[in-house]
Structure 1
Amino acid sequence: MIAQITSQAANLIGRWYSIPLLLLIWQVAVGGGFVESRLLPSPMQVWSVLVAEIADGQLVYHGAVTISRALLGFALAAAIGIPFAAAMARSETWRNLFEPIFFLGYPVPKIALFPVFTYIFGIGTPSKISFTVLECLYPIVVTCYFGFRGIQTRLVWTAQNFGASKATILRRVILPAALPSIFSGLRIALPVAIIVVVITEMIGDSIGLGYYITIWSTRFSFSNVYAAIIVIGLCGLVLDQALMLVRRRAVYWQRETA
């Protein structure tokens, strides 16, 4: 029992020791005068502001706005992108029509199109969500496309030889075989959704963590800025771990190495 607890503690420390190490370096850099404390407040200053702003409800409110926008855009992109990638992989006509568009547009910085989205949808939530859908669609479609394309043909042939219908083959063969790639695409797109929403809120909005960061930056109150950055990081970590929990349950036959 003690050996098991010790092993678990060692694994936990080995996985997360970089966080306290980063905080230590941060504290030494500020305390030693290596960086300007006004630009980089000490961890304790940021922590006190973080606690105060959470207790006041400001970070909770703005964080809820940002995360709800990101999750809705992410969910819509997944609902569109996964079937779209499957269609591209299974249909030559569909593939020839859309594959060049996706692979040509992937490296293009889509932020250049954000003014178009604000003109169509306005400066509020609809433009943020629709732009998030666009940004998340590319990694989901491209990653899932390779996953569907990589399915071994003999698996489909075997199911056909046993008399399985097309619906059964899709449900019992194609989707399970593509699930690892699907979750890889989702894991790539999830932080992208948060990043995109925060950036677009910084460009123009009156709510959200991006707006919060912009306002406190103009007031040169960088403790608030770093507190918001920590909230963004924690939200991203929690959502990523939740997605990995779903993956472990859905792709139960394949375990990711720690």
Structure 2
Amino acid sequence: LGIVVLVWELVSGGIVATDVLPAPATVGAEIVDLFVSGEVFSHLFISLFRVGVGLGLSILVGVLLGVGMARSDPVENFFDIFLSMTYPIPKTALVPLAILWLGVGTKAAILIVFLACLLPIVLNAYNAAENVDQNLVWAAQMMGTDERSILYKIVFPATIPEIMTGVRQAVPIAFIALV
């Protein structure tokens, strides 16, 4: 890292003009000024808001969709086609569409973060719900437990570790999509 900064300092102003590549000392001084003036905090808040809302919505929709697909064949048959078609599309390719639909601003950024984070959460929730110990479900059914209680008392608690893995995968994706 030190070598990179040293080369950057040597190149800036010599080989490359300072208005194209400012020196590290200039960049550092500007960073300090942004923090001292407090200007960076409003931008940071807006960015974290966009990531938080987009990621939160993707967690909510992704868990419901993934568990729903694992527990219901009609839901899986309906949504599997959409997930299979959208999986190979780079999420950055959705930026022009989001801007076209919602304009430049918070709504478009939230949509992009939401769409970028949705797939890992859906896939992890789906795999977790598919792999719930069937003996637990059968035992609950034999005791007369209704499907809703099985979902809330057996399936959701059993899927939490894998859902958290999907969230851990989605967090860096959210920040990449935000940029």
Q: Same fold (TM over 0.5)?
A: yes
> Which of 31, 53, 57 matches 1:72?
53
Rounded to whole Å, the distance in 2 between the matches of 1:60 and 1:110 is 27
> 2:50 aligned with 1:58, yes or no?
no
Rounded to whole Å, the distance in 2 between the matches of 1:168 and 1:69 is 34
Judging changes above 3 Å, is the alpha-carbon distance between structure 1 residues 113 and 144 closer, same or farther for their aligned structure 2 residues? same
Q: Which residue of 2 aligns with 1:99?
A: 80
Q: Is 1:30–1:37's contact at 8 Å kept on the other side of the alignment?
A: no
> 2:27 aligned with 1:27, yes or no?
no
Q: Which residue of 2 aligns with 1:173?
A: 154
Rounded to whole Å, the distance in 2 between the matches of 1:28 and 1:117 is 40
1:88 Cα deviation from its structure 2 partner: 0.6
1:136-147 pair list within 5 angstroms = 136-147=117-128
Rounded to whole Å, the distance in 1 between the matches of 2:26 and 2:154 is 54
State how many pairs are aligned. 171
Q: Note the residue ranges of structure 2 that are not aligned, 5 or more in a row.
A: 13-20
Q: Note the residue ranges of structure 1 that are not aligned, 5 or more in a row.
A: 1-25, 199-258
Letter in 2 for 1:76: L
1:40 Cα deviation from its structure 2 partner: 8.7
- Percent identity between matched residues is 31
1:41 Cα deviation from its structure 2 partner: 5.3
> Which of 80, 83, 104 matches 2:64?
83
Deviates more, 1:112-121 or 1:161-170: 161-170
> 2:143 aligned with 1:159, yes or no?
no
Residues 131-160 of structure 1 show CA distances to partners (whole Å, capped at 9, x for unaligned) of 221111111111211111111211111222
Letter in 2 for 1:30: V
TM-score normalised by L of structure 1: 0.60
Rounded to whole Å, the distance in 2 between the matches of 1:72 and 1:87 is 22
Judging changes above 3 Å, is the alpha-carbon distance between structure 1 residues 40 and 155 closer, same or farther for their aligned structure 2 residues? farther
Residues 151-181 of structure 1 show CA distances to partners (whole Å, capped at 9, x for unaligned) of 1211111222333332221121101110011
Q: Is 1:74–1:190's contact at 8 Å kept on the other side of the alignment?
A: yes
Q: What is the root-mean-square deviation in Å for CA atoms of aligned residues?
A: 2.3
